[in-house]
A and B are shown apart, each in its own frame.
Chain A
Amino acid sequence: MKRGLAAALLAGGVLSAPAVANAQDDGKTITAVMHSGLRVLDPVITTAHITRDHGYMIYDVLTAVDENFEPQPQMADWDISDDKLTYTFTLRDGLKFHDGAPVTGKDVVASLNRWGKRDSGGQMIFDVTESLEAPDDKTIVWKLSEPFPPLLNVISKQSAVPPFIMPERVAETSPDEPITEYIGSGPFVFNKDKYEPGASVTYDKFEDYVPRDEPPSWMAGGKTVKVDHVVWTTMPDNLTAMNALAAGEIDYLEQVQVDLLPVIENAPDVTVEMRDPLGFVTIGRPNFLHPPFDNKKVRQAALLALSQEDVLATMMGSDKYYKVCGAIFGCGTPLGDESGSEPITTGAHPEEAKKLLEEAGYDGTPVVLMQPTDVVSLTNQPVVAAQALRQAGFNVDMQAMDWQSVVQRRAQQNPPSEGGWNIFFTNWMVPEISDPLINVMVNGRGDDAWFGWPDDPEIEKLRDEFARAEDQEARKAAAVAIQKHVMDNVNYIHLGEYNMPQARRNSIQNMIPSPVPVFWNMTKEAE
């Protein structure tokens, strides 16, 4: 038996001798392991991050945010009329789709129309749109019935659904139907033949792409591709991905699970670092339809009972990777403000919470708290929260289930005793919550709001003020008012910020630090 085993092993060894050749160490192909496999290819129909990342590979955008959150020209420059009602965009020269056709105003109009039906910010712009037309191949004229100052911010955003520009024939697909042709005018071409949903996707450099002259900054500036191919390969096993990175079989790991960091921290030729200065937030969302969280005082008690520090420490393990932060629009963002967040940022206050519960006349109604057990980044928050709520006198019924069950159940408006729920937890990237028009948790339109359905006219008034604010100062004032309102009314429980480190081979250089992982500007030396 031993001889047989040795022979088999030897056969493997001899065939690969003298050492394993890395098939892709020619410096022309970057192999990356992203946070998830790519399954949905239509970046307008889904808000999934991986699909948005895919969108930035193959599509371009009219305008894009730079690292100061400022909109910058990308495919087009703009001009705003004095009455702030007409936006004229002029496409720059040399824009071409991957099939060779030039990008025209008609393509832009069709793409914006489709996007506007899906995106909540887009819907708000189209609510005040009088016309959106392309008088010639290079020009797009967007006429509004009333000023909408944040228009450029909304169309320049990088999350959740950026308005990617597609050929007119593709953009004419119904917004509820996924597109079937994946042609953009972005820096990479989608290689359809090498695509295996959820397993592997290959992008080739688009030779005809003409980058802007400005230096790259987040999603703005020159997108100069310096490699021939980028391959995203899915590795469901984190340890395998780390071993593959250490062995030089892959070049880039978008997210490293913090508890596995010791495996590669000391590996030669590998650098572990933060890609994205903003990171993620974790939140708890109460259900406003049913007792006990239909009562503001009970929600406030829950806020007092919980502690950001306790939740984050349990979630991440090391304080290098999390930050107690009371700003619902994110710390370090232009609208980030921590007003009124003391109940949650200064630790748990079970005694005060108890008192408030008594005042509220809480009768021990069970709180159904959903715990997903199959998503590493979401499985600990509910456990910590349940314990904290119990200590404050809540009668907690924690129910374990898979994430899919949470996703289905959170859409149920029934009472908790009939298949409904009281509270669940999830995570967002900071750019997805960084302003009141895109942060779905501050939507207070009752049944039309996000799961939890708060009917909150006051917050809607504040959001409207924000949308109409003409300058940054007025915008910030409205955002601070929303921050205070959310902390007082507890529209959701902001549980702080965390960050996931990335890892790369040292042969990869010149990565742009940004919330969306981008592969332009990046270089790779042969190893």
Chain B
Amino acid sequence: MFGYILKRILATIPVMAIVAVFVFLLLRLTPGDPAAILAGDAATPAQLERIRDRLGLNDPLHIQFFTWIGQMLHGDLGTSLISSTPVAGMIGDRLGPTISIAIMTIIISVLLAVPMGVIAAWRHRTWVDFLVMSFSVLGFSVPVFVIGYILIQIFAIELRWVPVQGYAPLSDGIGPFLTRAILPSLTLATIYVALIARMTRASMLEVLGEDYVRTARAKGVRENVVLFRHALRNAAVPILTIIGTGFALLISGVVVTESVFNIPGIGRLTVDAILARDYPVIQAMILFTAGIYVFVNLIVDVSYSFFDPRIRY
């Protein structure tokens, strides 16, 4: 197992290197000038030129690339061209809100979606199944911001149970944290409930017809034990995959939800950086996101073996 994990980690190096080169070139080919954002609208061309010089934007591409890679290899994510703050600190500040919302979303989604999927498969082609699948289609089709606005209107404006917007870290207390995190998490959960419920249902339908399920039932094992302990465990691999990818997706880009609920997270940081052509921030964010995907995939792969003992590394 340890050897497998090590091998997987080493395999990420070429992936990250390719991502790095690709990101760097793509950004430099996109029009836009961070110096203009920095200096403002009234700056003269001569002023812009001086700022570009200072930021190293007039250096040849390969020099810029190697300077950046050199920094990265020293663990330095660089400094924002616009705000002059270290990129690592910016990501660190924004990570808390995003991870909190992502974890809450996944918890809510799994708690709701897995039982929904199991029950839909168990009651295949009945009204329960129909209801679950209808919800899935709906959850997938309605844009998140619409759901967000509806939830805000009901729970924040009409009922006044929770605030309209904002984020409170856990250090402010569980109450403030939950009241602010609940609506964005529920909003995002509508998509992931739909996704995970469909996957659970499909996966369960496959295993419910297997011999061991029939045997368990014949032996008189209680139905909920058959469903959740025998069948679900064997159906877990694709469900885990979708949960893992979902989590990585949540961390890398919940821009709309972060905007609607005014959460200072990673998604907004990335979009702001792209609009300002703040190269060091964009580059670090893309590498960071790639890293998250690689890491989450590794965790998912490793966790397969806990659910399916036939999988060995």
Contact = CB atoms under 8 A, between A and B. Distances in A.
A448 B44 contact: yes
Contact of A450 (B42, B80, B82, B161): B42
Contacts of B42: 47, 120, 160, 432, 440, 450
A249 B159 contact: no
A262 interface: no
A405 B32 contact: yes
Given A197-B82, A233-B262, A247 B164 contact: yes
B254 interface: no
Interface in A161-219: 176-178, 180, 196-200
B37 to A, nearest CB: 7
Contact of A197 (B90, B149, B165, B175): B90
B41 A411 contact: no
Contacts of A118: 47
B51 A40 contact: no
Contacts of A46: 38-40, 43
B31 to A, nearest CB: 4
Contacts of A401: 31
A249 B166 contact: yes
Interface in B163-197: 163-166, 174-176, 178-179, 182-183, 186
A247 B159 CA distance: 11
Interface string A234-245: 111101110110
Contacts of B40: 46-48, 51, 160
Given A45-B38, A405-B31, A432-B42, A12 B164 contact: no
Contacts, number: 190
A403 B33 CA distance: 10
Given A15-B175, A47-B43, A448-B46, A197 B164 contact: no
Interface residues of A, number: 67
B33 A407 contact: yes
A243 B259 contact: no
A374 B84 contact: no
A48 B34 CA distance: 13
A191 to B, nearest CB: 14
Interface in A327-350: none
Interface string A383-411: 00000000000000000011111011101
Given A12-B162, A40-B38, A160-B40, A200 B264 contact: yes
Interface string A2-31: 001100110111011101100100000000
A239 B145 CA distance: 11
Contact of B45 (A13, A405, A451): A451
A117 to B, nearest CB: 10
Interface in B31-78: 31-33, 36-48, 50-51, 53-54
A240 B165 contact: yes
B152 A404 contact: no
A389 B52 CA distance: 36
Contacts of B115: 1, 4
A135 to B, nearest CB: 33
B165 A249 contact: yes
A41 interface: yes
A246 interface: yes
Interface in B96-152: 108, 111-112, 115-116, 132, 135, 149, 152
A382 interface: no
Given A160-B42, A243-B165, 20 more contacts: A1-B112, A9-B182, A11-B178, A12-B178, A15-B178, A16-B175, A20-B156, A40-B83, A40-B84, A47-B40, A120-B42, A160-B40, A198-B268, A236-B268, A240-B259, A244-B165, A247-B163, A405-B32, A426-B41, A450-B42
Interface of B: 31-33, 36-48, 50-51, 53-54, 80, 82-85, 90, 93-94, 108, 111-112, 115-116, 132, 135, 149, 152, 155-157, 159-166, 174-176, 178-179, 182-183, 186, 259-262, 264, 268-269, 272, 275-277
6 contacts: A39-B272, A51-B40, A178-B38, A197-B90, A244-B163, A409-B31
